[in-house]
Structure 1
Amino acid sequence: MTDELDLLRGANPVPADSGRWRDRPLDAEGERRLRQLVAGARRRRTVRRVAVGVAMATAGAVVALALTVSGPASSPAVAAPVALRPHASSADVSLAEIARRARAAAADEPGRTVRGSHVQDWSLGLESGKDAVTVPQETLTRWNADGSGSLLVVATDPRHPGRPVIDDGVPPRTVHDGKVVRRESYPPGIDGANESFFEPPPARAAELRDYLAVWRPGAERDPDELLAAVREFLRVWTPGPREIANLTTLLSRDAGLRPAGRVTDRMGREGQAFVRTGDGARVMVVLDPDDGRVLDMEETGVRDDPEYRVKAGDVLSYTAWLS
């Protein structure tokens, strides 16, 4: 009980200076704080399980890929990727124009947002005094109408980047190179309840910002936290046209992004890049200029760090959304 009381005091949905409480309903700020409290409790119940699963998947990916791409006299063919290089051109499209296009597309066909995602990502493992990298991996999460679902994680071969290694069929299967490191099936009724962002996103962009802030506190006021929240949200949901429009509207207004030019991403797709430089890293967001879909997010270092053998411009992580 002490833990719950401490959490409630920390959430402070009814500050002392808000007047007499009685039975009046929560205002918007109080409701947001209580939602954060509930979401935080859910996270704490599942974080140990999730952390163990991710650690096992990452370790398994490294071992599996080492066996896949290295021979008895070779070292694992794992290397850090080169940063994406946007180039200004006459075909550049502004973020405001992309948001306008996305809203127009949503007005014609709002579509629906689907729980689940198909992503390929990579991150730099930092270890003092050592060159440490992780292998790229591809993750497909799907949820059905009855709440059942599946998870497939495949270690990809960095010698052959730029192509998916999971065929999103029924059932999903591996294609090309790659090594399955995790496969899970979930029974009916689960429906992603142990994930962050377990509730469907709201219908309006202004409400979406507060929704993201429930699971990523600070996203409603800090552009860096907002970008991190968008990345996490897109690992749980595949947005339809309406939510794409809301996301691009939010990014155009609140993310502090500046145009960087056209870029061809690691999957061979043409996109429009926008960047924000924060404390220690530069985040690049690559959007489809026609419909506003987020194609990629990439983090690069902005300064040398000899202890971790990181140089300015090195890729720290990237995520490419495949659906």
Structure 2
Amino acid sequence: MTDELDLLREANPVSADTGPWRDRPLNARAELLLRQLPSRDRGRRTVRRVIWSLEAAAAATVLALALTVSGTPSSAVAASRPLPLVAHASRADVSLAEIDRRARTAAEESPGKSERGSHLQSWALSMKSGEDPVTLPRESLTRWNADGSGFTLEVATDPRHPGRAVIEDGPRPRTVHEGEVLSEERYPPGINSANQDYFEDPPAGAAALRDYLAVWSPGADRDPAELISAIESFITVWTPGPRQRADIATLLSRIEGLRPAGKVTDRLGREGQAFRFTPRASGLRYLIVLDPADGTVLDVEETITRDDPEYRLKAGDVISYKAWIY
């Protein structure tokens, strides 16, 4: 036990100045440090993707079972492993500074408000040494009312038809096409106990939003990777209004090392402008796709930057992605 504690202390995934963590998942930086712990047996570093939560792990089991019972081989789960998005650079590319300017103009013309709730498709990779990867494609819809009531609906998407929406939003949301309902929760009026993070309305102004994000994701005010992770988390709880979209565009434009990648067609068939960011010594790379018209975050994709034969990973393989539906 002493050796394991020494390894954890050396990695220091949650430092003394990061504030209370309570009962919620580690942020991307902490997860990454844990994944990079050296193994006593192998004596080298490996990169291992961990399913985001216990609920997600359970959902993966449900999905695999559903596919098997319905007559679809369980290998279809592994077969749905996506290829990375491909960006094409051209003279028509829109710079991040220009996107930021457009987002500011849009916010001035129609300020609007952020709305609590989100709609997105996501995918994550979990691995075990020497085994084929397991995928978890899913779509989730969360909506909240002014009185505090709301609902969450999570559906396993059909891996044979990636990118096709399986939830139809509306006054009475329902599942469409192929999809296995993983969870459905409804909450009565009152204090929202389902989403403890980001429970206060987001502020206006890039600096104020950065500080707001840092409350829930310590380090977001000083670490670019933490900031990107915090933005991801924030827009899974809130659908940003024009002002917050502009503030997010401003924060991204200030990240040193966030480079233009070119135009891209995302997994939902939308045209966007992509930007890459590779944190130092992380082994991961982010691809952030924005709507060039108003700075809306469309996608965030993570890929690995080096081979890892033990987990059957090659440089450029997708580790996870999120695609927001607006």
Instruction: Calculate the TM-score normalised by the size of structure 2.
Output: 0.82
Find out whether 1:225 has 2:226 as its counterpart. Answer: yes
Amino acid at match of 2:69: L
* Aligned position for 2:250: 249
Letter in 2 for 1:104: T
2:67 is aligned to 65
What is the total number of aligned residue pairs between the two structures?
A: 282
- Structure 1 residue 274 and structure 2 residue 268: aligned? no
- 1:71-82 to structure 2, matched below 5 A, reads 75-79=75-79, 80-82=81-83
Taking the aligned partners of 1:173 and 1:315, their CA distance within structure 2 comes to: 30
Aligned to 2:148: 147
Q: Look up the equivalent residue of 1:147 and give its one-letter code.
A: G
Deviation at 1:58, TM superposition (A): 3.2
Q: Secondary structure at the match of 2:98?
A: helix
- For residues 164 and 244 of structure 1, what CA distance do their matches in structure 2 show? 23
Paired residue type of 2:62: G
Ranges in structure 2 where 5+ consecutive residues have no aligned partner: 1-15, 26-51
- Worse-superposed segment, 192-201 or 248-257: 192-201
Q: 1:124 to 1:281 in 2, by over 3 A?
A: same
Aligned residues of 2:78 and 2:132 also touching (Cα < 8 A)? no
Q: What secondary structure is seen at the aligned counterpart in 1 of 2:97? A: helix
Q: Report how far residue 231 of structure 1 moved.
A: 0.7
- What corresponds to 1:113 in structure 2? 114
Q: Is the 8 A contact 2:76 2:159 kept in 1?
A: no
Q: Which residue of 2 aligns with 1:297?
A: 300
Contact 1:216 1:229 in 2 (8 A): yes
Taking structure 1 as reference, are residues 63 and 269 closer, same or farther at Cα in structure 2, changes over 3 Å only? Answer: same
Name 2:158's counterpart in structure 1: 157
Partner of 1:53: 55
CA distance, structure 2, for counterparts of residue 312 and residue 221 of structure 1: 28
Following superposition, the deviation at residue 192 of structure 1 comes to: 5.1
Contact 1:78 1:135 survives alignment (8 Å) = no
Q: 1:141 to 1:192 in 2, by over 3 A?
A: farther
* 1:1-323 superposed matches below 5 A: 36-37=19-20, 40-41=21-22, 43=24, 51-68=53-70, 70=72, 75-79=75-79, 80-191=81-192, 194-254=195-255, 256-278=257-279, 279-323=282-326
Per-residue displacement from partner, 1:73-111 (whole Å, max 9, x unpaired)?
x74354210100100122200001001000000001111
Give TM-score scaled by structure 1 length: 0.82
Q: CA deviation at 1:273?
A: 0.1
| Higher-helix-fraction structure | 1
Task: Name the SS for the 1:318 alignment partner.
Answer: strand
Distance 2:138 2:71 in 1: 14
Q: Deviations over 1:29-65 (max 9, x none)?
A: xxxx8xx54xx34649xxxxx9443333332233223
Question: 1:19 matched to which residue of 2?
Answer: none
Change in 2 beyond 3 A, CA 1:133/1:52: closer
C-alpha distance after superposition, 1:296-321 (max 9, x if no partner): 00001100011111100100000000
> Secondary structure of 2:143's partner?
strand
What amino acid is aligned across from residue 296 of structure 1 in structure 2? D
1:148 maps to a residue whose letter is S
Q: Distance in 1 between matches of 2:259 and 2:54?
A: 37
Q: 1:68 to 1:287 in 2, by over 3 A?
A: farther
User: CA distance change for structure 1 residues 113 and 280 in 2, over 3 Å: closer, same or farther?
Assistant: same
Please identify the structure whose Cα radius of gyration is greater.
1
Q: Distance in 1 between matches of 2:143 and 2:118?
A: 7
Q: Secondary structure at the match of 1:202?
A: coil
Distance in structure 2 (CA, Å) of the matches to 1:319 and 1:87? 20
SS at match of 1:283: strand
Overall identity of the aligned pairs, in %: 60
Counterpart CA distance in 2 for 1:63 and 1:177 is 15
Cα distance change, pair 205–306 in 1 and its aligned pair in 2 (3 A): same
1:143 deviation in Å? 0.5
Question: Aligned pair in 2 of structure 1 residues 193, 75: CA closer, same or farther (>3 Å)?
Answer: closer
- 1:170 Cα deviation from its structure 2 partner: 1.7
Q: Describe the superposition over 1:218-251 as per-residue Cα deviations: whole angstroms up to 9, x where unpaired.
A: 1111111111111111110000101000000000
SS across alignment from 2:201: coil
Q: Give the direction of change, closer, same or farther, for the CA distance of 1:52–1:167 in structure 2 (3 Å limit).
A: same
Alignment gaps of 5+ in structure 1: 1-9, 12-32, 45-49
CA pair 52-310 structure 1, distance change in 2 beyond 3 A: closer
Q: Residues of 1 paired with 2:289 and 2:157: CA distance?
A: 22
Asked whether the 8 Å contact 1:92–1:272 carries over to 2, the reply is yes
* Alpha-carbon offset, residue 67 of structure 1: 3.2
Amino acid at match of 1:320: A
